[in-house]
């Protein structure tokens, strides 16, 4: 079935980080400072992933994210079209989706994302999610970490889905804390949602 998936992503007003024009005396001073910072903090993100246990990208230390408690955080919603299948690869049905919403259990679906329809911000966060999944499942790390540890640290995303019910009415569901189980074809992934629920609106 066709669905529209939404991600809620925090954006930040960087006005508080504005500097005076003369903060760096020259371009060379600026690039030297950036180079020093990069050397100083290289590997911070990977170290955080393995040593403090990252639940998802937004909880990890990285150069592109800030604390969720920031007073300048603003949540925006971005979307992508997708096809939803059941765990056996059959097109998902409205009836089965609604049944899953009341199961109060984990649910496995296959999602084929339509990259061409993605908002730029959705695609950026989607790429982070995929990359984090691939990093934590890197064979060289699997040799030193047990499967339980890897699964616990799998990155998660919560997706909001818009779909048409059998009466051709627009309905919404939330797929909470999704983890990637397996990659299929290009931009197609088997995902496990901790829970699926019907919601009134996004």
Q: Mean pLDDT score of the chain, rounded to an integer?
A: 79
Nearest in space to 165 (alpha carbons), one of 111, 92, 102, 103: 92
* Interatomic CA distance for residues 95 and 88, integer angstroms: 16
User: What is the average per-residue pLDDT within 87-112?
Assistant: 96
pLDDT at residue number 13: 53
Whether 66 is in a domain gets the answer no
Whether 176 is in a domain gets the answer yes
Burial of 125 (0-12, 13-18, 19+ CB in 10 A): buried
Regarding whether 85 and 48 lie in a shared domain, the answer is no
Name the percent of the chain lying above pLDDT 70: 68
Regarding whether 26 and 122 lie in a shared domain, the answer is no
Regarding whether 152 and 121 lie in a shared domain, the answer is yes
Regarding whether 28 and 89 lie in a shared domain, the answer is no
Domain span including residue 6: 2-12+74-199
* Tally of domains within the chain: 2
Regarding whether 84 and 161 lie in a shared domain, the answer is yes
pLDDT digits (tens, 9 = 90+) for 116-174: 999 999 999 999 999 999 988 888 776 777 788 888 889 999 999 999 999 999 999 99
* Interatomic CA distance for residues 116 and 79, integer angstroms: 11
Nearest in space to 180 (alpha carbons), one of 109, 123, 102, 88: 109
Regarding whether 83 and 176 lie in a shared domain, the answer is yes
Contact indicator for 75, 162 with CB cutoff of 8 Å: no
Residue 85, CA distances (Å) to 75, 149, 187 in order: 29, 28, 13
What is the pTM assigned to this prediction?
A: 0.69
Regarding whether 163 and 120 lie in a shared domain, the answer is yes
Whether 144 is in a domain gets the answer yes
Give 58's pLDDT tier (boundaries 50, 70, 90).
very low
Regarding whether 127 and 78 lie in a shared domain, the answer is yes
Whether 186 is in a domain gets the answer yes
Task: Say which residue, 136 or 111, is predicted with more confidence.
Answer: 111
Vertex 113, ends 117 and 57: CA angle to 5°? 100
Give 39's pLDDT tier (boundaries 50, 70, 90).
low
pLDDT at residue number 16: 47
pLDDT at residue number 136: 87
Give 99's pLDDT tier (boundaries 50, 70, 90).
very high
Regarding whether 91 and 185 lie in a shared domain, the answer is yes
* Interatomic CA distance for residues 17 and 1, integer angstroms: 45
Contact indicator for 113, 34 with CB cutoff of 8 Å: no
Regarding whether 169 and 99 lie in a shared domain, the answer is yes
Regarding whether 154 and 85 lie in a shared domain, the answer is yes
* Interatomic CA distance for residues 158 and 180, integer angstroms: 12
Regarding whether 183 and 101 lie in a shared domain, the answer is yes
* Interatomic CA distance for residues 141 and 153, integer angstroms: 12
Tally of CB atoms within 10 A around 103 = 11
């Amino acid at each position: 079935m066709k669905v529209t998936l939404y991600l809620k992503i925090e954006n930040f007003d960087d006005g508080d980080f504005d500097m005076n024009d003369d903060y760096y005396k020259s371009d060379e001073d600026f690039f030297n400072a950036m180079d020093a910072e990069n050397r100083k903090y290289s590997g911070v993100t990977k170290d955080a992933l393995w040593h403090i246990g990252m639940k998802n990208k937004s909880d990890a230390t990285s150069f592109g994210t800030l604390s969720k408690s920031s007073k300048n955080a603003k949540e925006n919603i971005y979307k992508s079209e997708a096809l939803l299948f059941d765990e056996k690869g059959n097109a998902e049905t409205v009836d089965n989706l609604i049944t899953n919403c009341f199961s109060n259990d984990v649910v496995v679906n296959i999602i084929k994302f339509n990259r061409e329809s993605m908002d730029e911000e959705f695609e950026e966060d989607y790429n982070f999610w995929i990359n984090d999944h691939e990093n934590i499942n890197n064979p060289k790390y699997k040799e030193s970490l047990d499967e339980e540890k890897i699964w616990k640290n799998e990155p998660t995303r919560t997706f909001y889905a818009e779909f048409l019910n059998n009466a051709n009415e627009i309905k919404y569901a939330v797929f909470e804390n999704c983890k990637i189980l397996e990659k299929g074809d290009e931009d197609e992934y088997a995902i496990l949602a901790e829970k699926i629920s019907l919601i009134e609106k996004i």
